[in-house]
Amino acid sequence: MYDGLPPGLTVTADGAVRTVLIDRPAELNAVNADLHRAFAEVWRHLAADQGARVVILTGAGRAFSAGGDLDWITSFLDDPVARDESIREGAQIIEEMLRFPLPVIAAVNGAAMGLGASIAILSDIVLMSDRAYLADPHVAVGLVAGDGGAAFWPLLTPILRTREFLYTGDRIDAATAVEVGLASRIVPADGLLDEARALAGRLAGQPVEALRGTKRVVNMYLAQALAGPMQAGFAAEVVSMQTPEHRERLLALRNRSG
């Protein structure tokens, strides 16, 4: 069922629980073209899996996902077709997650940055390792946070508590993430997956239609509230992708990282 999925995500089954592993550990699970496409497609695969009741989403190695792969993002500077495809897929990822019928537990085991943070926060329950952190560095590299914090953090958090993090790209540690509403609770790092599996087992035992219907109603609020901001955010992000300041900052970051 998952054979056609692009590389970067690994799906394993344990009874009614499906664990989706972000599986580029050598690159801190940074999102490249294949992984981005996999994130856009995996939700339909999972929804079609008749035996699945709950999904756990986590990262291989020491990161959840360190955001966009710098080589991939740099390619957009001179390839508008790839750039526009990434924006289309980005919208698809968010739409698919909001439409996905099963509960998703994010087990955030390390850094969750940019798209990694967005995917974690869009999950139904966000368990954060005490060693993990969130960050949205869009603005710091000259981009509008159109596929991230600017669109949906205001739905979840006190705006005055999170604007500073959004404008600076600073890290949000696990305790602060829980305090402001970007995560559900903190779990000791060594017990994170065990806790996620225990919670998944509890959810898998709940009445199926009652749980799915409850999620559907909750997500209606998010989908309705996000419709305008997401469209405006993606449009503004495309404009910012074409600015000299973004090019300069992105190339400088890539050179430092390389």
Identify the pLDDT of residue 186: 98
**Of 38, 30, 37, 47, residue with least CA distance to 10:** 38
Q: What is the pLDDT of residue 210?
A: 98
- State the CB neighbour count (10 A cutoff) for residue 4: 7
For position 68, what pLDDT does the model report? Answer: 92
Distance CA(97)–CA(47), nearest Å, equals 11
Q: What is the pLDDT of residue 167?
A: 95
Separation CA 3–CA 38 (nearest Å): 11
Tokens representing 152? 């949906």
Neighbours of 13 (CB within 10 A): 13
pLDDT of residue 114: 94
- pLDDT band at 166, cuts 50/70/90? very high
Quick one: pLDDT at residue 258? 67
Specify the CATH number for 9-193+200-204; select among 3.50.50.60, 3.30.420.40, 3.20.20.70, 3.90.226.10. 3.90.226.10
pLDDT at position 256: 86
What pLDDT, on a 0 to 100 scale, did the predictor assign at position 223? 85
Q: Report pLDDT for 125.
A: 98
DSSP per position, 158-189 = -HHHHHHHHHH---EEHHHHHHHTS-SEEE-G
Tell me the backbone φ, ψ of residue 106, rounded to 5 degrees: -85, 120
pTM as predicted: 0.95
Band of pLDDT at residue 217, cut at 50, 70 and 90: very high
pLDDT value at 211 more than 70: yes
Beta-bridge partner residues of 108: 128
Domain limits of the chain?
9-193+200-204
pLDDT score at 216: 96
**Phi, psi values for residue 252, rounded to 5°:** -65, -40
Would you place residue 230 in the very low, low, confident or very high pLDDT band (cuts 50, 70, 90)? Answer: confident
